[in-house]
Structure 1
């Protein structure tokens, strides 16, 4: 089965391509550096020819509210139109746990708009809602840093390894369309400030982590359950302390 992975050369996409290929599928990595651009439509018709499934794990190059909304609306609209023309039978989109609960965050609004486009398309679909990735731990700390202080909201947090994300996305891609969503999360739940504090301590990072209920998480305050599943979820297998990339992220 030919499965095209949009964003297939990135962190999650490359892992999805590898897993699908290992299962005997013709997994094609599609990205601007392979001649496929969903914003302009360049290369879409060619890469989608003969495809049964499309997996979209591409991300916006900008998190600014207007730019990220324009990216997901334009790219997703172009992609879905091209899929319809090519006769694709299953669209798999990777999104974020909590999109429908956090309309105050521009990035979440943009992902929700993307999901709406997917649902309204005539193409059968599956949406995978994932929690934050272990790989972005340092970036979260850096974004929340003011001088030598890292201000983090003391809210529930359930991050997961990129390998576990890719495993579930690939599994969904190989299955029948859900015409709905599945939520995936890490195997352990933490308090976010404690998780970041422990991560920095492990790296011998001297920054002080302060629990601040009003701290922004990439642009907006978050509630107690904003970043975690509130119902059933498929849990990953890799714990943070056992994650092979833990030392690499420290560098």
Structure 2
């Protein structure tokens, strides 16, 4: 099976390509580096030529209002080109609980992307994942200074990118779900506690201050980002991942 992986050189995309090719499929990565421009549609016919499946792992470069236009334009362009190319299955990666956090413009933009895909002409699958382990360092940097890191007590259930990539690859190689599959890590943390664990693992002596107004995730209420019944629960724990990252 030929599978076009849009955003196939990124954190998730590169792993998806590797998994699919190792499984005997022909996974072909495309990105701006290969001449693809999803905003204009340039390079899409070439990227989708002969593809049975397209996996869209592209992401908005910003989390602000511009993300809405990005996902609207790119998803519309991709579906039009996929229909023209005879692609039979379109897959995107989204976020667990994305429709439960309307105060975040980026999350509203991702819901729009999902809705465009659902209403489009291509049989589809949506994989919703919780937050990546790999993004924790960035989350800490948003609200930190030389001595403190301010984080809300928001509940999260993070997951290793390798586990996400495996889920995306599995769904991509299967029949269209015409629905959504959720995947999450095995443990639930308060974000401020996860910050303490992360800093300690890196030998960082800054203090974590609980501040329920700090950062993007302050807008999240209750357990919106926690996996619901029926979700696939990955096996890799955060501390296992930290230990492996330290050894590599």
Shared fold (TM-score greater than 0.5)? yes
- Give runs of aligned pairs for residues 8-23 of structure 1, distance below 5 A: 8-23=8-23
- Whether the 8 Å CA contact 1:132–1:158 is kept in 2: the answer is yes
Other-structure match for 1:37:
37
Does structure 2 conserve the Cα–Cα contact (< 8 Å) formed by 1:135 and 1:245? no
Q: How does the TM-score come out when normalised to structure 1? A: 0.94
Where does residue 121 of structure 2 map in the other structure?
Answer: 122
Aligned counterpart, 1:47: 47
- Distance in structure 2 (CA, Å) of the matches to 1:75 and 1:22: 29
Confirm or deny: 8 A CA contact 1:69 1:110 kept in the other structure: yes
Candidates 221, 235, 238, aligned match of 1:237? 235
Query: Which residues of structure 2 form unaligned runs of 5+?
Result: none
Q: Give the deviation of 1:153 after TM superposition.
A: 1.4
Residues 4 and 48 in structure 1, CA contact (< 8 A), matched pair in contact too = yes
Contact kept, 8 Å, 2:155 with 2:222, in 1: the verdict is yes
Q: Secondary structure at the match of 1:16?
A: helix
Cα distance in 2 for residues equivalent to 1:39 and 1:53: 20
Conserved in 2, the CA contact under 8 Å of 1:216 and 1:222?
no
How many residues matched?
A: 247
Q: How many Å separate the matches in 1 of 2:73 and 2:38? A: 8
Residue 223 of structure 1 corresponds to 221
The root-mean-square deviation of aligned C-alpha atoms, in Å, is 1.6
Segments of 4+ moved more than 3 angstroms: none
| Counterpart in the other structure of 1:105 | 104
Deviations 1:121-158 (A, max 9, x none): 02100000000001111100001214522121112211
Identify unmatched segments of 5+ residues in structure 1: none
Range with greater deviation from structure 2 (146-155 or 110-119): 146-155
User: Aligned residue for 1:138?
Assistant: 137
2: CA distance between counterparts of 1:245 and 1:136? 16
1:24 aligns with 2:31: no
